[in-house]
Structure 1
Amino acid sequence: MTRPPATLRDFYENPAVPVASGAARSRRQARLLARALGPVRTGAPPATILDIGCGDGSAAAVAAEVLTGHRLVGVDWSQDALRRARTRIPWAVRGELTDGGLPFATGSADAVLFSEVIEHLVDPDAALDELRRVLRPGGHLMLSTPNLAAWYNRGLLLAGVQPVFSEVSMRGIHGRPGTQVVGHLRLCTARALRGFLTASGFEAVRIAGAPYHDVPRPLRPLDRAACRVPSLASILLAHARRAGG
């Protein structure tokens, strides 16, 4: 979303790079947002929801099933991803997370879905500034990102193993579990994410946990149980509101 070096841009334009995190997580995040927005009132205009970093649109399509009555617009800078997204959702436009890089007026969005994008960004500060710009005062931000301090990462670090989700190369896996390079540039803990959102002009930050779809099957019950303590969960789900509302 923020303009990366050419090699990084090429990486994300590659159709083989994963662009969605699974229907279950997308549905859970959409339900959280639906509860925050409340029921659609008869005669009221639909809420404008931006799915920033929509990828191929599969997550937005799942969210749209939950967020009926609202207008959901997908945004990405990858032309290949947008071509695929337009086969799944009615609106998908190009934009970048730079100053004024999103094609929306200041304060025009009621909510933003920002699903597992921030860990890929070169400049997350500029990204949060731009999200805050397009959100109306009091508008909702639903952000998800992998948890550096997930329960298994704590054990891996103690054993001297590179944590899951972290990467030292864009060309291959080195020293950590997993088989896919997914382009993560930075990771955070629940405490760090809360502090970052607050410093970026958001308030009422609430963080929940979500499981990770690629955890080995025998460990999935433990991964689901860890969600009860967000600081241990695989995935962090943050709900915040733009200050000033």
Structure 2
Amino acid sequence: MTTATGRRSAGLRDFYENPAVPVASGDARSLRQARVLAAALGPATARTATVLDIGCGDGTAAAAAAPLLAGHRVIGVDWSQDALKRAHAHLPYVVRGELTDGGLPFADGAADAVLFSEVIEHLVDPDSALDELRRVLRPGGHLMLSTPNLAAWYNRGLLLAGVQPVFSEVSLRGIHGRPGKEVVGHLRLYTARALREFVAASGFSVIGLSGAPFHGVPRPLRALDRLACAVPSAASILLLHARRT
């Protein structure tokens, strides 16, 4: 007997295994995130760290960050077999894993850091996902999480005008009531305050929150989008650095 939950899960799997679904995000976010992580880890000459890029997509984000993480061991992890095939062109180590209890193929405390970029907004159960990330991180290990900002500067104006915010989606089959052309499967969105509170409640100590621009902003507005990063709560992308307690 097929349950409604089973049908939803199968539908999401089919969606993310579709090669037409975007699995990459902008280099600006990747580089800003990598700089923070590189500073936190220190040079690999002192100690080689194991970094898990969970939800690595096609590996282009890790490739952009690689010069800043030189010498550290970066392992790409994704649910989608199609994404892993593409990621292997950029990463020497890729494995399949799921964000369920024990779904990541790593021992407790195996990782020094986790890159969790543009993933949490796609999850049905983000609570269990952060529990699993906490399991594979060593005590004091670094979590580098990025996600679109529900309260981005332009979304505030769109909501006032009665328009569906950018990043939010009401269907996996088409765009309805918001700007943009791509369906990317966002299920949950966070403001800066909500993200801080959620990560802290999941057993992490939040070290800092910064902003990054969004590559999909129209060219005439990109300078303004970069300026908005000075106020993370209004930036397009939220970059959160936390440590496992």
TM over 0.5, yes or no? yes
Q: 2:214 aligns with which of 212, 215, 234?
A: 212
Q: 2:59 aligns with which of 57, 65, 73?
A: 57
User: How much has 1:40 moved relative to structure 2?
Assistant: 2.3
Q: How does 1:150-229 map to 2 (within 5 A)?
A: 150-229=152-231
Instruction: Confirm or deny: 8 A CA contact 2:45 2:71 kept in the other structure.
Output: no
User: How much has 1:54 moved relative to structure 2?
Assistant: 0.5
Instruction: Confirm or deny: 8 A CA contact 2:28 2:212 kept in the other structure.
Output: no
Q: 1:13 aligns with which of 11, 17, 22?
A: 17
User: How much has 1:7 moved relative to structure 2?
Assistant: 1.0
- How many residues are aligned here? 239
- Give CA-to-partner distance per residue, 1:109-129, whole Å, 9 cap, x none: 000000000000010000000
Instruction: Confirm or deny: 8 A CA contact 1:82 1:92 kept in the other structure.
Output: yes
Q: 2:79 aligns with which of 59, 63, 77?
A: 77
* Map of 2:30 onto structure 1: 26
* Map of 2:118 onto structure 1: 116
Letter in 2 for 1:90: P
Instruction: Confirm or deny: 8 A CA contact 2:117 2:145 kept in the other structure.
Output: yes
CA distance in 1, matches of 2:43, 2:72: 10
* Map of 2:3 onto structure 1: none
Give the RMSD, CA atoms, in angstroms: 1.1
CA distance in 2, matches of 1:61, 1:228: 26
Letter in 1 for 2:221: L
Structure 2 residue matching 1:209: 3-state secondary structure = strand
* Greater mean alpha carbon deviation, residues 59-68 or residues 129-138: 59-68
CA distance in 1, matches of 2:67, 2:43: 14
CA distance in 1, matches of 2:169, 2:85: 28
TM-score by length of structure 2 reads 0.95
TM-score by length of structure 1 reads 0.95
User: How much has 1:62 moved relative to structure 2?
Assistant: 1.6
- Give CA-to-partner distance per residue, 1:68-104, whole Å, 9 cap, x none: 0100000001111111111221000000000000000
Aligned identity (percent) is: 78
CA distance in 2, matches of 1:22, 1:225: 17
